[in-house]
Structure formats: C-alpha cells, structure tokens
Amino acid sequence: MSSLPADRNSEPTSNRSTFEIRFHLLPPSGIPASSPIKTHHLMSLLHRVSRLLPTLPLNPRTMSTKAQTLFFKSAQFAVAGASKDQTKYGTKVLKWYQAREMKVTPVHPKEPELEGVKAVTNLTGLESPSRTSVSIVTPPKVTLALLKEGKELGVPAFWLQPGAEDEEVLKYVTKEGLTDRVVFGGPCVLVSGDDILKSLL
C-alpha cells in the first residue's frame, strides 16, 4: 500500500475527541474501502508499526532514545515490580542493577526486603525521588499509578519494561508531556542497558 491519505473533512476540531481516517487505494484486509476508522481503535497497531500516531506527534523511537540516556544519568535507581520469584522479570531487572553495582531500591507494597536490599512500599519512600530513575515492571494499571506518583515527586525518568504499558498509559505519557522522560514501546533494560551505559562513559 503506497499511502494512507486522510480525508481533509475529518480533521480534528476542538469539540471532537477523536477524528476519522478514510483509507484509499488498498485498505487493510477486512476493512472496506473508504471506511471511517477512529484513531483510538488503531492505537496498538499504529504504535507498533508506524509509530506515527496522531496523538503522538513526536516519534516515540526518537523520544525513547533520549529518555534512555536521561534515565541512566541518575545517581540512584528503583525497581517497581520486583518480587521473591526469581523467574519474574522484575527480580531479574533488580539483580541487573545489583550486578553492575548500581545503587538500587526495590519498590514493593508488602515485602520489607528483596535480594538483600531494604524495600520501600511506594515511590514516596525513596531516599531521594528527584534523583532516582525508576524501572517499572508492573501491570499497566499499576504502572499508571506509579507514573502519576513519580511525576508529582519529580522522578527524572522512567523505564517501562515490555508489558508494563497499555493504551491508557501511553495516553497519559503523551498528555502530560513525559515522552522525553519515559522509555516505552518495547526496549528492555536487560537488553539495551549495557550499551547505553557504555555510550555515557
């Protein structure tokens, strides 16, 4: 398909929360030609494929790269979603920081200690939230609450592990202007972390 031009008559207006796109030429399979499709129905697909959503005017890939660099400039780190389960990614992320001798604090609502490190029940309990970047390895609903709490506390950057985000989380990140402070869209600190750290040396 060569292009997906939008119907000029369906431009967003101040009193419309969504707008419609009319596909021309060869529409995706199962979608009738010139069928109106609301943007929010295509959020997941377009986010993964083109990363050029109307609600995300800035390219998430570019913003994520900036956020990754900002993330590792912090003096301290925290991991929300770590547990006693060694097979869970939250615990793997916590141990990743420990293996690199980085100052890290686990965030857990019930456990007082994880991997030999004193845990805090929420981001407010961090020693210095404004100097602590936070890795989030939680279900999207919990992620959203953590982002809101962290924003109020002045947390400099967040890294959303794969699976920690959904449409509502992405909408919040964009609406609050956090795209340059939040790593989202797929990068995993276990995979990309070392390369980013090397680039900062």
- Residue 120 tokens read as 């805090």
What residue spans in the chain does CATH classification 3.40.50.720 cover?
Answer: 61-199
Give the model's pLDDT for residue 51: 42
Q: 20-58: string of b/e by CB count within 10 Å (b at 16+)?
A: bbbbeeebeeeeeeeeeeebeebbeebbeeebebebbee
10 pLDDT exceeds 70? no
How confident is residue 97, by pLDDT bands cut at 50, 70 and 90? very high
129 pLDDT exceeds 50? yes
DSSP code of residue 123: G
Give the model's pLDDT for residue 25: 38
Give the model's pLDDT for residue 200: 87
- Residue 48 tokens read as 């993964």
Domain at 61-199, CATH class: alpha beta
106 pLDDT exceeds 70? yes
- Pair 27, 35: CB distance under 8 Å: yes
Q: Which residues pair with 21 in a beta bridge?
A: 37
Give the model's pLDDT for residue 45: 53
Task: Give the mean model confidence (pLDDT) for residues 138-147.
Answer: 98
